[in-house]
Amino acid sequence: MIPPDAPELNINQIEAGTFSDFPKGSSKIIRMGRIPVIVLRKKNGDFKALEATCTHLDCTVQFKTDTEQIWCACHNGFYDVEGRNISGPPPRPLGQFNVTLKDDKVIITKQELA
Ligand code: FES
């Protein structure tokens, strides 16, 4: 049996939304092919995009606006807003993506392509 073509699995760039979709302190999880990506806007207005899969046991992480940290509810793992693992069981930082603002659009790109 031959699996169907799935060109969306090789996506290297995706539009996360418009600038106004991301007020300061907000976040959104999108998918780049099979990879969930958390796109967030810090309180200072900067954007960040990180792989949303925890490096411990693959749960989906979330952004805690109040402390500007990334949290994994499965085993209480924490990452800083740059994706560095700072407490709990996660053994590695989260993968990084590039964020580009083009016109009014927030564009997420795999880092090796930027
Ligand atoms: S899966 Fe995230 S802390 Fe365990």
* pLDDT tens per residue, range 17-59: 999 999 999 999 999 999 999 999 999 999 999 999 999 999 9
The two most distant CA atoms of the chain are separated, in Å, by 51
Ligand 1 within 6 A of CB of 93? no
Question: Cβ(73) to ligand 1 under 6 A?
Answer: no
Instruction: Find the mean pLDDT for residues 71-80.
Output: 98
71 CA → ligand 1 middle, Å: 9
Give me the pLDDT at residue 114, please.
Answer: 47
Domains of the chain and any CATH numbers:
20-113 (2.102.10.10)
Strand, coil or helix: what is 58?
Answer: coil
Question: What is the pTM for the complete model shown?
Answer: 0.89
Q: Which of 74, 85, 92 to mutate to test the pocket of ligand 1 (most atoms within 8 A of CB)?
A: 74
pLDDT on residue 1: 72
pLDDT band with cut points at 50, 70 and 90 for residue 7: low
Burial label for 63, CB within 10 Å (0-12, 13-18, 19+), is: buried
